[in-house]
Chains A and B, each alone.
Chain A
């Protein structure tokens, strides 16, 4: 008997119906995008080549899907086996997040029918950070699928296959740690080539990859805490607070390291004045830094680390911080020069909302059909 079990609840619920309406609206605008062109549904222009779809669906979306990555490091690399119960739901969220991130990249491709060129060796440009991201994300989606497949194999009772898979799974787990380290850092490296268009407070050149991977990890841990707290409340399951408290410690270390490096770069590069410039850049920087600092202050106290609500506040703040860091760098303070402006159109927002709705619906269906969540009572 597996230690994981499907959640015995009805699939069609009121939230599920609401989500499917949002998904349908999103799919309608997505269809318009393919029939009439991207200009018909998006506000993209020559200055802002990347909008909500790239920045949210791909760049923020895959960082939000780093729960599997963060836990794989904790459980398999740091050998903290007690966190094992959290792994499967985290892997599922990662698989869905990355798969839909890949979909987001595809629908944003202006010449989507040629997408496979990125996999053809004679087309590859090994100087391109985008190539590394594309190949790495595609491979990681496969790796996540394999890592999560025991849940499917248990369900259909393929015991032989499951046993063989378990023998080689360590290789995929190792890849599942390496690949996100590679492409999550590269998503930061991508900002270097944009040069002056990226606000100096976010244009950190050589340390872009380090800041990107650190914030991706904090978002990964935050999303694990968030999901566990949420499923405890939403599905009225026993709280996993004692487990989450331990993760809180790791988060404190990551946030501390991130803030030290972030401020050291700003001070050493003489950019401190920009923080107090009183413009949009300094306002966004203050907001972003507050969102990073709040969870650090909350989780520094061992008492508060044991408190479910405090953990949840810290997690939400961290998710917003990591997302805002990416939005600030790629979009909000991004300035291609005078004469260009961008704000997503309603139809553009609806497509993104639809993708998020599909992601949540898929998560709900899978945890109700397959052994994903850990047994509430040890059998």
Chain B
């Protein structure tokens, strides 16, 4: 009898689960006036002016090579490095932007996801996506240091400072964190401003996506007038022959898209980009979580059923013993 009661209660719960099941949450849409960057790997000459400028703007020390600090020797993202240029080489490594026997540069920094995993998983809202600019920002005063953001970031961007007993997460905040606020003051990001070739362009996601799509349609070998600085109002231009672009704009769709877009003549998996589909993992995780916990309805029903059954069984025990 009692077992049947329990089964009934749990069946009721299952029915509620199927009935009230929260609608699957799709990928988030880009913020209305999302700010972003376009990195064109074929324009990058590996000068690392962006790395140096990033350190200056964000007040971070250069990474020494051995004991000496002749220049910033940062090899990867770290608590001291929010932006870095990495190199791909294959075979002889002699031809730029060639997959075989070639080399190519790749910028690594926060991609400012449209549907950021880090924001979705953070228990204390230390990571946020700005409703207007789409910038993914970090608030150390909220952060408890659980590092779930690091596990939830497909690009391994958030860096926890393990060597500091009072460390925090470090990530690119598009030069707009309190005290820097370049975007709010009408400036562009440090790296885009410093880039001499326009490999890192600043602008709205929309304008940058249009520019990237335009470059996809260019014929290899023809001359194109490449802008520098802000794509909407370039500082200057330079003419260059169009390379053989891969027909792929990274960040247009990957895991819901990113505000920082990349284009290249070498496949992105060779440049260290992760294997991502179009659906964001955050949207799947939140769909499961909200199906189970929307308004705490299911737990409440389950608790009511359990309380009823436990109480009945407990009373029986008392009668049996006394």
Contact = CB atoms under 8 A, between A and B. Distances in A.
Chain A complexes with chain B: yes
Interface of A: 34-40, 42, 44-47, 49-50, 76-79, 81, 84, 105, 108-115, 117-118, 120, 123-132, 134, 169-171, 173-175, 177-178, 181-182, 185-186, 189-190, 192-197, 205-206, 208-209, 336-340
Interface string B142-154: 1111111011101
Contacts of A171: 307
B166 to A, nearest CB: 8
Contact of A175 (B143, B303, B309): B303
A39 B79 CA distance: 12
Nearest to B1: A79
B123 interface: yes
B290 to A, nearest CB: 8
17 contacts: A39-B162, A46-B76, A46-B78, A46-B150, A49-B151, A109-B146, A131-B123, A134-B123, A177-B306, A192-B284, A196-B274, A197-B151, A205-B284, A205-B288, A206-B284, A209-B292, A337-B156
Interface string B74-97: 001110000000000000000000
B310 A110 contact: no
Interface in B1-16: 2-3, 6
Q: By DSSP majority rule, is chain A's interface helix, strand, loop, or mixed?
A: helix
Given A78-B2, A117-B142, A177-B310, 9 more contacts: A44-B162, A47-B156, A77-B306, A79-B3, A81-B320, A110-B162, A111-B167, A174-B310, A194-B281
A175 B299 CA distance: 10
B160 interface: yes
Interface in B298-322: 299, 302-303, 306-307, 309-311, 313-314, 316-317, 320
A34 B165 contact: yes
A49 B145 contact: no
B302 A178 contact: yes
B284 A169 contact: no
Contacts of B313: 76-77, 79, 81
Given A124-B125, A193-B151, A206-B284, A174 B306 contact: yes
A118 B143 CA distance: 9
A174 to B, nearest CB: 4
Lowest 7 A-B CB distances belong to which pairs? A110-B145, A39-B162, A111-B145, A49-B150, A131-B123, A195-B281, A49-B147
Contacts of B123: 118, 124-125, 128, 130-131, 134
A49 to B, nearest CB: 4
Contact of B151 (A50, A76, A206): A50
A110 B160 contact: yes
Contacts of B135: none
A129 B156 contact: no
Interface in B165-192: 165-169
B131 to A, nearest CB: 15
A193 B121 contact: yes
B168 A111 contact: yes
B164 interface: yes
A340 B165 CA distance: 23
Contact of B159 (A36, A46, A129, A196): A46
Contacts of A117: 124, 142-144
B154 A196 contact: yes
Most chain A CB inside 10 Å of its own CB: which residue of B141, B163, B281: B281
B316 A128 contact: no
B307 A37 contact: no
Nearest to B10: A77
Most chain A CB inside 10 Å of its own CB: which residue of B76, B163, B320: B163
Contact of A125 (B124, B151, B164): B124
B120 A37 contact: no
Contact of B303 (A44, A174, A190): A174
A40 B167 CA distance: 12
A50 B158 CA distance: 13
Contact of A173 (B142, B159, B310): B310
A322 B313 CA distance: 30
Contacts of A190: 121, 148
Nearest to B289: A129
B286 interface: yes
Nearest to A122: B125
B159 to A, nearest CB: 5
A46 B156 contact: yes
